[in-house]
């Protein structure tokens, strides 16, 4: 036990509670995804064990991403994110024009050789949030100056959200809302934010008119506002929640996984409630809130505005997406196709979620001294003397 503790102390820096939450989510994810992929279609195409192995491998990849990114001093993310943001513009355009289409939306790039689908919007999302945090933190002294402080921020938000909206409207709206929240936290005056909503709405409708998903969005919203008939997915989701009861049907006993489209990603929360009941559902909600809370503590403890805003932006982006996914499952929000971060099956989503968590951890562990931390324990005394 002590050995484990010593190992974790040495290797897993930063907020231990966040580490705990990450591991908890990983275990839940493997359990529920394994069950959800036990549907007939998956059974027939290969063994569910193959999906279990693949998913577990991706979870581990996500954990590696957490570990690697939490090792990096968070201040580097300011620069790194700028490069990522630049890169994401051509990638998004490429995905829109040449990308693979899954479920009628063109948003995937297939990486040759390893043959893995890659969603550039995942990269763009993270890069934008880190950038907005960086830009806001630089301008904290003159945040009221619209021209100097806000124009560059808005420009980037508009460009990236607009590009994402071309092929994935709900992700774009979500990202824009997160950015707005981040600006609010970053002390941008509320009057500017109201103006932004207007601009966002304009850009949004423009993208809708030009993009591929216009019809889907309109019909989904209409369906939500004036429910003549509960849509099929929602119906099945409610049935999953209702039949789950307080303590659930037990792991692997979901019946609705056969009837819910995308039970392993969009409607994973319904499966959680069906198998683990209200108790399981509330636990997952609680874990997300705990993550948000620990992110907030990192904000409080960080010495620089950039660290605080970065941590806040990243955790809010994650948790808001989770809330939207859950909101759809329980019928508080119209049907959208957002995966549940850290739980849903899916390659790049898990990878970038891992990166996000790593960034929060990096902020939580504070600024690293200039001394090389990787030295062997024998040299410890020397360092302490030097310090």
Partner 1 sequence: MNIKKSILIRVRVAFLLVALFAVAVVVRMGNIQFVEGDKWKKLAEEIGFQYRTIKATRGNIYSDNGSLLATSLPFYKVAFDPMIADSEVFKKGIDSLSLLLSKTFPSTSARQFKQKITDARLSGKRYITLSREQIDYQQKKKMMDWPIFREGRHEGGVIFEKVDKRFRPFNDLAFRTVGFLNEDNYGAGLEYSFNDLLGGRDGEALYQKMAGGSWKPVFDQQEVKPEEGLDIETTLDVNLQDVAETALLRALEEHSAQHGAVVVMEVSTGAIKAISNLTRLENGSYGETYNYFVGGVREPGSTFKLVSMMALFEDTNLSLEDSIDTGTGEIKVYKESIRDHKPGGYGKITIQEAFEKSSNIAVAKLVMNQYGTQPKKFYEYIESLGLNRPIGFQMKGEGEPKVKTPDKWSGITLPWMAFGYEVETTPLQMLTLYNAVANEGRMMKPYIVSRAKRADKVIRDFKPEILKRQICSDATLEKLKIMLEGVVERGTADNINGTHYKIAGKTGTAQKLVNGKHVKKYYTSFVGYFPADNPRYSCMVLIDDPKGYRQYGSDVAAPVFKEIADKIYAKDIDMHAPLSPEYLVETGVFPTVKAGYYPDLNFLCNKLGISNHSKEDEVEWVRASVTNNAINWKYPSNAAGLVPDVQGMMLRDALYLLENKGLRVTYQGKGRVINQSLPPGSRIAKGGLIRIILG
- How far, CA to CA in Å, does 72 sit from each of 16, 23, 75? 17, 20, 8
Residue 315: CB minimum distance to partner 1, A: 9
- Measured from the CB of residue 241, what is the shortest distance to partner 1 in angstroms? 5
Nearer to partner 1, 245 or 250 (CB): 245
From the CB of residue 153, how many other CB atoms can be counted at a distance below 10 Å? 22
Residue in this structure with the two tokens 């209702």, named with its chain if needed: 242
Nearer to partner 1, 61 or 285 (CB): 285
Looking up tokens 């403890």 gives: 301
CA distance linking residue 320 with residue 330, whole number of Å: 15
Strand ranges in 24-181 using DSSP code E only, listed in sequence order:
100-102, 105-111, 116-118
Edge-to-edge strand ranges of the sheet holding 105-111: 100-102, 105-111, 116-118
**Residue 275: partners with Cβ closer than 8 Å, 6 or more residues away:** 32, 35, 244, 248, 249, 250, 251, 252, 253, 254
Q: How far is the CB of 362 from partner 1 (least distance, A)?
A: 18
Contact 187, 135 (CB under 8 A): no
Q: How far is the CB of 142 from partner 1 (least distance, A)?
A: 12
Q: Tell me how far, at minimum, the Cβ of 312 lies from partner 1, in Å.
A: 5
Phi then psi dihedrals of residue 370, to 5 deg = -70, -10
Give dist(CA 237, CA 240) in Å, integer: 5
Ramachandran angles phi, psi of 26, nearest 5° = -60, -45
Angle, helices 347-364 vs 120-138, to 10°: value is: 20
Question: Least distance (Å) from partner 1 to the CB of residue 205?
Answer: 26
CB of 293 to partner 1, least distance (A): 7
Q: Identify which of residues 157 and 324 has a Cβ nearer to partner 1 in the complex.
A: 324
Rg (CA), the chain: 21
Taken in order 234, 215, 123, 55, the sign of the CA dihedral is: positive
Nearer to partner 1, 39 or 167 (CB): 39
Q: Between 63 and 363, whose beta carbon lies closer to partner 1?
A: 363
Q: Which is nearer to partner 1, 134 or 312 (CB)?
A: 312
Contact 132, 185 (CB under 8 A): no
Q: Which residues bind partner 1 (CB under 8 A)?
A: 39-42, 44-45, 103, 140, 181, 184-187, 232, 235, 238-239, 241-246, 255, 258-259, 261-262, 273, 278, 281-282, 285, 288-289, 292-293, 296, 299-300, 305, 308-309, 312, 316, 319-320, 323, 326-327, 330-332
Least distance to partner 1, CB of residue 141, Å: 8
We find the least distance from the C-beta atom of residue 235 to partner 1, in angstroms, to be 7
Residue 334 dihedral angles phi and psi, to the nearest 5°: -65, 160
Nearer to partner 1, 4 or 300 (CB): 300
**Smaller CB separation from partner 1, 160 or 241:** 241
- Which is nearer to partner 1, 89 or 333 (by Cβ)? 333
192 vs 238, which CB is nearer to partner 1?
A: 238
Q: Count of CB atoms within 10 A of residue 230's CB?
A: 13
The number of angstroms, rounded, from the C-alpha of 157 to the middle of its chain's C-alpha atoms is 17
d(CA 207, CA 171): 13
Q: How far is the CB of 366 from partner 1 (least distance, A)?
A: 15
């Amino acid at each position: 036990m002590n050995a484990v503790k010593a190992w974790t102390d040495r290797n897993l820096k930063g907020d231990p509670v966040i580490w705990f939450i990450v591991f908890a989510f990983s275990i839940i994810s493997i359990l529920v995804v394994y069950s959800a992929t036990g549907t007939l279609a998956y059974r027939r195409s290969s063994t569910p064990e193959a999906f279990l192995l693949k998913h577990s491998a991706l979870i581990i990849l996500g954990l590696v991403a957490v570990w690697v990114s939490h090792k990096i001093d968070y201040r580097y993310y300011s620069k790194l994110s700028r490069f990522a943001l630049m890169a994401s513009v051509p990638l998004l355009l490429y995905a829109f024009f040449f990308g693979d289409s899954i479920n009628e939306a063109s948003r995937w790039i297939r990486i040759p050789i390893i043959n893995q689908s890659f969603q550039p919007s995942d990269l763009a999302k993270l890069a934008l949030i880190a950038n907005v945090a960086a830009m806001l933190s630089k301008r904290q002294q003159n945040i009221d100056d619209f021209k100097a402080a806000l124009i560059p921020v808005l420009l980037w938000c508009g460009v990236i959200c607009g590009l994402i909206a071309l092929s994935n409207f709900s992700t774009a709206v979500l990202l824009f809302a997160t950015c707005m929240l981040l600006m609010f936290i970053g002390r941008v005056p509320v009057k500017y934010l109201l103006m932004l909503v207007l601009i966002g709405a304009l850009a949004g409708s423009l993208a809708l008119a030009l993009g591929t998903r216009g019809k889907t969005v309109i019909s989904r919203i209409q369906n939500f506002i004036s429910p003549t008939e509960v849509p099929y997915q929602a119906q099945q989701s409610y049935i999953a929640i209702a039949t789950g009861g307080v303590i659930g049907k037990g792991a692997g006993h979901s019946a609705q996984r056969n009837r819910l489209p995308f039970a392993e990603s969009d409607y994973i929360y319904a499966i959680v409630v069906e198998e683990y009941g209200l108790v399981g559902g509330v636990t997952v909600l609680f874990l997300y809130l705990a993550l948000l809370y620990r992110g907030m503590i990192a904000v409080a403890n960080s010495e620089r505005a950039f660290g605080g805003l970065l941590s806040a932006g990243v955790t809010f982006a994650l948790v808001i997406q989770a809330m939207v996914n859950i909101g759809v499952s329980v019928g508080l929000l119209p049907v959208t196709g957002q995966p549940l971060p850290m739980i849903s099956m899916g390659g790049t989503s898990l990878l970038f979620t891992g990166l996000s968590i790593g960034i929060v951890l990096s902020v939580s562990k504070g600024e690293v001294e200039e001394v090389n931390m990787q030295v062997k324990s024998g040299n410890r005394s020397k360092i302490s003397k030097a310090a």
